[in-house]
Amino acid sequence: MKTAQSLKEQIALLLDEAESLNNVAKAEDRELTAAEQQRFSAIMDADSGEVTQARNELEHAEKLETEQSRLSSLRAESLKPASHPLNVELTGDAQADELPLSSRINVPVKNQFRHSKLHAYRGDHGERKAYIAGQFLLATVGKNPSAAAWCADNGLDVRFHGALSTSDNTLGGYLVPDEMEQAIIDLKEEYGVFRSAANLVPMASDTKTQPRRVSGVTAYFSGDNEALTESDANWDNVQLVAKKLHCLSLYSTEMSEDSVVSIGDVLTREIAYAFSNKEDECGFNGDGTSTYGGIVGVLNAVAAGSIYTAATGNTAFSTLDLADFEGMVGQLPAYAEGNAAWYVSKAGYWASMARLLDAAGGNTIQDLGSGPERVFLGYPVRYTQVLNSTLTAQTSTNILCFGDLSMSAMLGNRRGISVMTSEHRYFENDQIGIKGTQRFDINVHERGTASVAGSILVLATPGS
């Protein structure tokens, strides 16, 4: 996320650019050209202009930085040698309710050491955060009175917030605690390859339009007393429309207070994995159908110029050769090289890239024992299991990607995670249905053309 200072600088540059457009036209005693007017509107439009968007982001960044500064001060105060114990009433400026809940509560002894290693909650206060999530789930899902009382005493909202609304992402279900929502977001970025690599764009509303430069002006030679040739910069818009995604999980009705930490950890991890897996499916494999929320992913979005076809006969991962991968690297535009990476399934990597590395020669027993480093031809390799993992021959099939996803695709993040429950649908199995929801969109906008490669390429097997 951009800092408040960088956003202020961005706004200043945009205003300077808009002012310069007017000054040039005024100096030449003319109206703005169509291209200049289009650029001026893209900058200054009151509803969707770049300045308006930057100011909205600045407001959010300033609030976030203020809150982070406040929390840092509180943490520093709590770590002083003379600070209070967590279970002693506080006095003065450092009141207990100003500290994060995970810094104020203690996990009862009966809940300690009754769970396996935590996966969703790590770092400082990980067990406490899992305990908070578990108490929340016991109260909302398990309808446990003592858990509901604990949540009320500690300021957790366990009220049901009405029906889902398309215009307000705070409605529809139980609003999860901050500790649980942050864990889900962190795990999505860890599990979700697409989210971690694409251009992550915060969405303040259900629809966001981002201006995009398509082409620039052209330089021409001219002689004395010759008329100058005009050229214009061209712009278009990338639109993001938030789509509702849900996941449904089952859990036993026999939710024990003794296992509250494990409950919080397991269900947080399941919801995060489901969300991140679907985001990868949409980002890479989306075909525009309802299965993918209308999203068109990389494999189906790129134009012909962004597809590299392997040599004739190389129809399986096991038959791909070094020339196929080198040709793909050569086809990627230089501007997309700095942050480029390979995106491939684990099975595909070991049957192709790792096989070629093993065969390169010069390996020792230590090299083979450690395994190959996940770098190929100088670019990092990122596993994504949603991509093709078929090891037998397959013709005319898009099997892996290479390039810079941050330049190629936007992932609009509408935030706001909630959970809903049903004790009736799975009554006969003595289970509870737990549904998590989020809202997001993906737009693969840099697709290349029929003859020019974009910033993300796709490797296809030949027809024979």
Dmax over CA atoms of the chain, in Å, equals: 91
- CB contact burial 20-42 (16+ within 10 A = b; e otherwise): ebeeebeeeeeebeebbebbbeb
Given this model, what pLDDT does residue 139 score? 77
Given this model, what pLDDT does residue 259 score? 59
Of 56, 91, 126, the residue that ends a domain is: 91
- For residue 435, being part of any structural domain is answered with no
Give 383: exposed, middle or buried? Use CB within 10 Å, 0-12, 13-18, 19+: middle
How far is Cα 233 from Cα 231, in angstroms, rounded to an integer? 7
- For residue 283, being part of any structural domain is answered with no
Q: Half-sphere exposure of 279 toward its Cβ, with a 13 Å CA cutoff?
A: 32
- For residue 129, being part of any structural domain is answered with no
The SS3 of residue 338 is: coil
Q: Which two tokens stand for residue 49?
A: 């202009």
Of 52, 75, 91, the residue that ends a domain is: 91
Give the count of domains, the chain: 2
How far is Cα 348 from Cα 149, in angstroms, rounded to an integer? 51
Look up residue 352 and give its DSSP letter.
T
Determine the residue type at 3.
T
How many helices (H) and strands (E) the chain has is answered by 15, 14
Q: Which residues have a Cβ under 8 Å from the Cβ of 84 and sit 6 or more positions away?
A: 78, 90, 94
Give 334: exposed, middle or buried? Use CB within 10 Å, 0-12, 13-18, 19+: exposed
Phi/psi-derived region of residue 233, left when phi > 0, alpha when psi is between -120 and 50, beta in every other case = beta
Pair type for strands 456-460 and 307-309: parallel
Residue where the block lists tokens 């099975």: 347
How far is Cα 57 from Cα 360, in angstroms, rounded to an integer? 49
How far is Cα 48 from Cα 96, in angstroms, rounded to an integer? 42
Q: Which residues have a Cβ under 8 Å from the Cβ of 397 and sit 6 or more positions away?
A: 388, 390, 460, 461
How far is Cα 402 from Cα 342, in angstroms, rounded to an integer? 5
What pTM was estimated for this model as a whole? 0.62
Contact 300/286 with Cβ under 8 angstroms? Answer: yes
- For residue 230, being part of any structural domain is answered with no
How far is Cα 268 from Cα 262, in angstroms, rounded to an integer? 10
Among 117, 142, 120, 134, which Cα is nearest to 177's?
134
Among 61, 128, 70, which Cα is nearest to 99's?
70
Of 54, 72, 91, the residue that ends a domain is: 91
Domain that holds residue 24: 1-91
Given this model, what pLDDT does residue 376 score? 94
Given this model, what pLDDT does residue 94 score? 40
Contact 404/342 with Cβ under 8 angstroms? Answer: no
The SS3 of residue 72 is: helix
- For residue 338, being part of any structural domain is answered with yes
- For residue 34, being part of any structural domain is answered with yes
pLDDT in tens, the chain (464 residues): 677 777 887 888 888 888 888 888 888 888 888 888 888 888 888 888 888 888 888 888 777 777 777 766 665 555 444 433 333 333 334 444 455 665 666 665 444 444 556 656 666 667 777 777 777 777 776 677 777 888 888 877 666 555 444 344 444 455 556 656 666 666 665 668 998 899 988 887 888 887 776 666 678 777 777 777 776 666 677 888 888 887 766 666 555 555 566 666 667 777 777 888 899 999 999 999 999 999 999 999 999 999 999 999 999 999 999 999 999 999 999 999 989 999 999 999 999 999 998 888 777 666 666 766 789 999 999 999 999 999 999 999 999 999 999 999 999 887 556 666 666 665 666 666 667 778 889 999 999 999 999 999 999 999 99
